[in-house]
Structure 1
Amino acid sequence: MRSLQARLLAPTDIAPLIWFRLVFGVTMVVEVFRYFSRGWIKSYYIEPSFFFSYYGFDWVNPWPGDWMYVHFAALGVLGAMIAAGFSYRVATPLFWLGVTYVFLLDQTQYLNHMYLVCLLAFLLIWLPGGQAFALDARLGLARQRDTVPTWMLWLVRAQIGLVYFFGGIAKLESDWLSGVPGSMFLRGWELTEPLAGHEWAARAFALSGAAFDLLVVPGLLWPRSRPWAIGAVLVFHLTNVQLFRIGIFPWLMLAVTPIFLEPAMVRRWLERWWPWRMPRAVAAPVNPRWQRAGLAFFGLWLALQCLLPLRHWFYPGEVNWTEEGHNFSWHMKLRNKEGRVRFHARDSRTGARWKVDPRPLLSNRQYQKMSTRPDMVQQFAHELARRYEREGRLGLEIYADMRVSLNGRPRQMLVDEDVDLAAQPWTWRAASWLVPLDDEPLVFSRAVEP
């Protein structure tokens, strides 16, 4: 352990972390531009009258009026400041707070890449990103440095590597390896659509995806396999751009790939492209006590990042069906899920029962997301009960008829239609009112029939 600690505390070139800072900031500016140009700020955060909260964060609400536009504009400015390394120590915590706030507003907007952005933004706070190839160093606002403790570089590498690793582990399950989800996804691109009906092609797609996720990081770190790994990264992410609508995720993962390369190579790129020459700095003094504290803290951080994706094993049932433990686990594009849900209210005093249409209260995106996620159905049932209470109608029962198809299976009941969801507590524990998935294995020829 002492030998490992000494190696992690030893200095290494700061260049890969500067590259990470630069591409992260630029990507965030692009993402903010996409939100403005596509009208997402209005449709996601201003027009809806109800938002699906994360457990424990129901107190997080959107800014009133048009202030969400101001919030996103501020995120764009902060992203540009991070990219340029200007007022870095102010920009990074503000950006992390701002983007995490947006992330927590509505569960229906959950995306793995937005969760990753929150994690990476938090790490940037603790890295000396403004001390090299940065305006702060140029203007004398920060002491210039060329090296950092090795653990800082491996912290970012590990955070990115865990996304790949757990994405690969999640693919080692029967539905994915059957090729059925892959066949459905292959239909999303004109170039791959002719392969969608062939079982061998769909299974090859599934196996190659799992193999890539599990092997890409070792392949990038080993010099002999690195050229092949870089080629695989390009093919994998550019294919994902065509097959899936996953926003900036492929581009962000492509952009951060150089953190796995030799630091000297990354430094040569920065020195060639940076607009002004940066003189080499004297090695910065290191406080061993603080470095050991940072090493211990982020060791615990990475341990938590390893445990969170495994928590679905503590819930009964198939995670792709129940959704319990699905978020924050890097289960990315593993399934094709379609559903519909109908709500009924019942007055226990009179026995009167009537249908409740959720669509006037939700956007189309919110309804589509809710129709396959039982925790959101329960949360919306609680909201309906609250709305009736405000009208003076107390003690109403709310029931849901929820039918969902997973990976081409016939639609099955997911929520017990005889359970009053408004009376069920909102908790992180396993829900007793979920109906298990019929565990009949998928048959490719039957599941992919039009």
Structure 2
Amino acid sequence: MRPLRARLLAPVDIAPLAYFRIIFGATLLVEVFRFFSKGWIKTYYIRPDFFFSYYGFEWVKPWPGLGMYVHFAVLGVLAAMLTVGLFYRVAAPLFWLGFSYVFLLDPANYLNHLYLVCLLAFLLIWVPAGRAFSLDTRLGLARPSSTAPTWTLWLIRAQVGLVYFFGGIAKFDADWLSGVPGAMFLRKWELTAPLAEKAWAARLFAFSGTAFDLLVAPALLWRRTRPWAVAAAVAFHLTNANLFRIGIFPWLMIAALPLFFEPSTVRRWLERVWPWRASEAAETPATGSWTQQAGVAFFALWLTLQALLPLRHFLYPGEVNWTEQGHNFSWHMKLRNKKGSVIFEARDPRTGERWDVDPEPLLSKRQYSKMTTRPDLVLQFAQRIARQYEHQGRPGIQVFADVWVSLNGRPHQPLVDPTVDLAAQPHSLRAATWILPLREEAVALSSDEEDADAQEP
């Protein structure tokens, strides 16, 4: 371990870190603008009467009144500050806190790229990306440096590479490799729609996507394969941008490709375009300092966590694309088509009265669509129904759900046990016994299936 630690502490050109700070801040500035211009702030954080919650974060609620507009405006300012490197050590943690708050407001709005933004924003807090090509060094607010410890660069590289790697691991799925989900996706783009009915094209789409995710990061690091890897990555992400509405994700991943280049190459690019030049003193990290040793420990612990978290779905019984337990935070990206419907029935055990409850008036269109295929959201809404009647003076109301879902073109089948009172079930991280197992009918193409997987708001 000692030689490895020495290599991680050795100095490396700081230019890739500065480059990533710039493109990350600029990309998120565009994302904030999109939230304003498309009306998503009102649609998803102001208008709904009910918000779902992540386990342990039930206390996270939207700001009242115009607070959410102010919050996003502040996020835009912080993203701009990251881009130009102004007050970086303040802007980085504040942006992470502010964006993570938005992310935690409602799991119905979960998107892999929003989760990735939270992770990368957190990592930027701990790397010296503001000590070069920044206004901080220009104005004398930070000590300029031309180098940084090697682990800081590899921390960002590894985080981006793990997204690809676990995206590939997740594709070792019988449904995905059958080509059926791929055919459904190909049908959505006019350019690829003719290929959707050809079995060989759907299977090629599935296998090539798997191979790309597993190989692209190593191929980007090797000089001989890098040009081919860059071409494949650009083609892959541009195809995804047309097939799926996944927001900034393709563009952020394309912009992040130079992270895997030689640092000297990135420096030459930045020196040509950066308008404010400042002298940068070369620094050799103090390898024996406690801060550098702590940095290496953080590097190891963070990557261990990021390697284990995507595998947690193996702790739960059943097919993860069906039960959804362990699906989020695991880089299972665009692997399935799910379409469902739900009917809630409330019962008063004291009087024997039964009646249906319509959830649509209380939810946004997106919330309702996501809830119909995700057991945890069904449970949360059932408990919301029970609480509402309790506040009206009718405690002890039971709530049952009749949920029918189609996965990857299968016939609709029940997702939740309709005989279980969901109002009495705990909201926990344990395996849910009230989720019914997936019947193993063969997947089949269906022209009227709609993609209900995660897409941009």
Same-fold status (TM-score > 0.5): yes
CA contact (8 A) 2:149 2:285 kept: no
Output the amino acid matched with 2:7: R
**What's the TM-score once normalised by structure 1's chain length?**
0.98
Match of 2:162 in 1: 162
Q: In the aligned structure 1, how far is the partner of 2:299 from the partner of 2:384? A: 39
For 1:198 and 1:402, the matched residues in 2 are separated by: 32
- CA RMSD, Structure 1 to Structure 2 (Å): 0.9
Describe the SS at the equivalent of 1:386. helix
Deviates more, 1:352-361 or 1:277-286: 277-286
Match of 1:56 in 2: 56
2:362 paired residue number: 361
Match of 2:319 in 1: 318
- What SS is found at the alignment partner of 2:272? helix
Aligned to 1:372: 373
Which residue in 1 is equivalent to 2:180?
Answer: 180
Q: Report the counterpart of residue 90 of structure 2 in structure 1.
A: 90
Do the aligned residues in 2 keep the contact of 1:14 with 1:263 (CA within 8 Å)? yes
Structure 1 stretches (4+) deviating beyond 3 angstroms?
none
SS class of match (1:74): helix
Identity of aligned residues (%): 69
* Greater displacement, 136-145 / 279-288: 279-288
Q: Distance in 1 between the 2:222 and 2:103 partners?
A: 35
The CA distance in 1 between the partners of 2:294 and 2:275, in whole Å, is: 36
Aligned counterparts, 1:180-219, within 5 A: 180-219=180-219
Give CA deviations for 1:348-391 in whole Å, capped at 9, x if unaligned.
01111110000111111110010000100000001000000000
Quote the Cα distance in structure 2 between the aligned partners of 1:284 and 1:47.
53
Whole-angstrom distance in 2 between the partners of 1:107 and 1:138: 41
Q: What is residue 70 of structure 2 aligned with on the other side?
A: 70
Contact 1:372–1:404 under 8 Å retained in 2: yes
Partner Cα distance (1:81, 1:440) in 2: 53
Residue type of the alignment partner of 2:445: A
Deviation, structure 1 residue 449: 5.5
Residue 417 (structure 1) shift: 0.3
Note the 1:7-86 alignment, pairs <5 A: 7-86=7-86
Please state how far the C-alpha of 1:441 moved relative to its aligned partner: 3.3
Cα shift readout 1:307-333 (whole Å, capped 9, x = no counterpart) = 110000000000000000000000000
Aligned-pair CA distance for 1:284? 5.5
Distance in 2 between residues matched to 1:22 and 1:252, nearest whole Å: 11
Offset of residue 283 of structure 1:
1.6
SS at match of 2:123: helix
CA deviations over 1:126-176 (Å, ceiling 9, x no partner): 111111000000000000000011111100010000000000000011000
CA positional deviation for 1:439: 1.6
Match of 1:308? 309
User: 1:299 maps to which residue?
Assistant: 300
Q: Is the 8 A contact 1:197 1:448 kept in 2?
A: no
Conservation of the 8 A alpha-carbon contact between 2:416 and 2:434? yes
Whether the 8 Å contact between 2:48 and 2:363 is mirrored in structure 1 is yes
1: CA distance, partners of 2:284 / 2:276:
22
In the alignment, which residue of structure 1 is the partner of 2:453? none
2:108 corresponding residue in structure 1? 108
- 2:335 counterpart of 1:337: no
Distance 1:111 1:286 in 2: 40
Structure 2 unaligned regions, length at least 5: 449-457
Confirm whether residue 125 of structure 1 aligns to residue 115 of structure 2: no
Letter in 2 for 1:447: L
Q: Are the equivalent residues in 1 in contact too, given 2:138–2:277 (CA < 8 A)?
A: no
Return the offset for 1:292.
1.1
Distance in 2 separating the partners of 1:56 and 1:429: 13
Displacement after TM superposition at 1:277 (Å): 2.7
Q: Distance in 2 between matches of 1:285 and 1:449?
A: 59
- Please state whether the residue corresponding to 1:447 is helix, strand or coil: coil
CA contact (8 A) 2:410 2:441 kept: no
* Residue 34 of structure 1: how far off its partner (Å): 0.2
Give yes or no for contact 2:148–2:285 (8 Å, CA) kept in 1: no
Contact 1:145 1:284 in 2 (8 A): no
Please list the CA deviations of residues 392-442 of structure 1 after superposition, one character each: whole Å capped at 9, or x if unmatched.
011110000000000000000000000000000111000000110012333
Q: Work out the CA distance in 2 between the residues paired with 1:22 and 1:58.
A: 34
C-alpha offsets along residues 191-237 of structure 1, whole Å, 9 cap, x if unaligned? 00000000000000000000000000010001100000000011000
Other-structure match for 1:150: 150
Counterpart Cα distance in 2 of 1:55 and 1:439: 30
Question: Whole-Å Cα distance in 1 between the matches of residues 428 and 351 of structure 2?
Answer: 30
Q: In structure 1, what is the Cα distance between the partners aligned to 2:297 and 2:224?
A: 32
Residues in 2 aligned to 1:171 and 1:31: alpha-carbon distance in whole angstroms: 28
Quick check: 273-282 or 259-268, which moved more? 273-282
2:41 maps to amino acid: I
Distance change >3 Å, CA 248–CA 449, structure 1 → 2: closer
Partner of 1:221: 221
Q: Which residue is equivalent to 2:387?
A: 386
The residue that corresponds to 1:351 in the other structure is 352
Distance 2:276 2:398 in 1: 67
Which residue of structure 1 aligns with residue 427 of structure 2?
426
How does the TM-score come out when normalised to structure 2? 0.97
- Return the offset for 1:278: 3.0
State the match for 2:455 in structure 1.
none
Superposed displacement of residue 447, structure 1: 2.7
- Displacement of 1:56 in angstroms is 0.5
Q: Is the 8 A contact 1:238 1:250 kept in 2?
A: yes
Q: 1:236 matched to which residue of 2? A: 236
Give the structure 2 partner of residue 395 of structure 1: 396
3-state SS in 1 of match to 2:8: helix
